[in-house]
Amino acid sequence: MTSAVKPSTLKFAAIGIDHRHIFGMAQNLIAEGAEFVGFYTEGTPEPLEGFIKRFPTVPRAKSAETFLNDPSIDIILLAGVPCDRAGWAIKSMIAGKDVLSDKPGCTTLEQLNDVRACLAQTDRIWSINFSERFQVPSATRAAELVAEGAIGKVVQTVGMGPHRLNRATRPDWFFDRQSYGGVLADIASHQVDQFLFFTGSTDAEVTMANVGNYANPADTGLQDFGEMSLRSDAGHGYIRVDWYTPDALPNWGDGRLTILGTEGYIELRKYVDVGGEEGTDHLILVNGDKCEKMRALDAGVPFFGRFLEDVRNRTETAMTQAHALKVCELALQAQELAEERFK
């Protein structure tokens, strides 16, 4: 990567705020000392009103090129319509910016190949906010416990990513397969990231993949269920994602992760503990010495500070570039495999 020295206060701008993940992406960078200098988005996407309330002093630009042509801006955040993110990432990197994209970073393997080529050409950083790990303190604590050897060698992850449909707030692109990329390419990228990370895998094989639309037949472009399995030389993984979260649940989804090791296991109840304690970030640890449940809110979310340091120092401490590319590749391969069977 290039060795140009970056200023201590990094500046970032956002292109596209069509997904509410932009809130956490921006707020966490601000909390780590970066300066939010502006945003551009087309039309009036649903998150716009809340975005303006949360970031009232951040100006809206008339065009995205305003940021691409500004040499003082170091980082571009991308949270537009998913199928547009890879194109803006490439434009941003060619303009000399590093990129932090909402997931999915790509919606096709062709887009992924274009991003790879751009990375080789520009030597920039293309990172993806896998929020179900990077914005979850219990995942941080789980990573610490795994690194300490608390459950031995990790041999399997089981990741569950249920979501609430919230039909009334969804834009048209949400129901258009070509726009959002498919349920595995989109949501399951979170769980693919966690599988690779916790098993220490750098590559894997998709051994099973399925998608379906079982509850929303009138929305022919929507996939409301997906599952996939992964196998690497380090371990195995099973992933299930869906849009079936019932209205009675007090959160958008009962996201869980089970990490199985040779000497114990960890279960994360990330957002809600049904029938248990209130709040988020519940972690269960069972091994030869402990059988306990703990809260992990104090573990923090170090990704964003590390990402800024990587931008300054041209390092890869937050997430390696190879990891980001591999997550997208596997999720997209699973999507293609599933759709061959879904036809």
pLDDT tens-digit map of 205-216: 999 999 999 999
Enumerate domains of the chain plus CATH numbers: 11-129+302-318 (3.40.50.720), 133-300 (3.30.360.10)
pLDDT tens digits, 101-135: 999 999 999 999 999 999 999 999 999 999 999 99
pLDDT at 2 over 50: no
Write the DSSP string, 251-275: SS---EEEEEETTEEEEEE-S--TT
The percentage of the chain sitting over the pLDDT mark of 70, rounded to a whole number, equals 98
pLDDT band of residue 173 (cuts 50, 70, 90) is very high
Q: Read off the pLDDT band of 8 (50, 70, 90).
A: confident
Band (pLDDT 50/70/90 cuts) for residue 3 is: very low
Tell me if 239 sits within 8 A of 162, measured CB to CB: no
Q: What is the pLDDT of residue 342?
A: 72
For residues 257-270, average pLDDT: 98
> For the stretch 68-95, what's the b/e string if a residue is b when 16 or more beta carbons lie within 10 angstroms of its beta carbon?
beeeebbbbbbbbbbbbbbebbbbbbeb
Question: Residue 64 in contact with residue 95, Cβ under 8 Å?
Answer: no
Q: Is pLDDT of 146 > 60?
A: yes
The sign of the torsion formed by the CA atoms of 22, 25, 31, 33 equals negative
Cα 242 to the chain's mean position, in Å? 16
Instruction: Name the 3-class secondary structure at 280.
Output: coil
Position 69 scores a pLDDT of 98
Query: What integer pLDDT is reported at residue 100 of this predicted model?
Result: 99
Phi and psi of 298, rounded to 5°?
Answer: -85, 0
pLDDT tens string 289-334: 999 999 999 999 999 999 999 999 999 999 999 999 999 999 999 9
> What gap in Å lies between CA 124 and CA 118, rounded to an integer?
8
**Which pLDDT band, with edges at 50, 70 and 90, does 341 fall under?**
confident
Write out the two tokens for 236.
Answer: 């195995």
> Which residue, among 260, 184, 182, 267, has the nearest Cα to 227 in the 3D structure?
184
pLDDT score for 339: 97
Per-residue pLDDT tens digits for 11-63: 999 999 999 999 999 999 999 999 999 999 999 999 999 999 999 999 999 99
In percent, how much of the chain has pLDDT > 90? Answer: 97
Structure tokens at 41: 């988005």
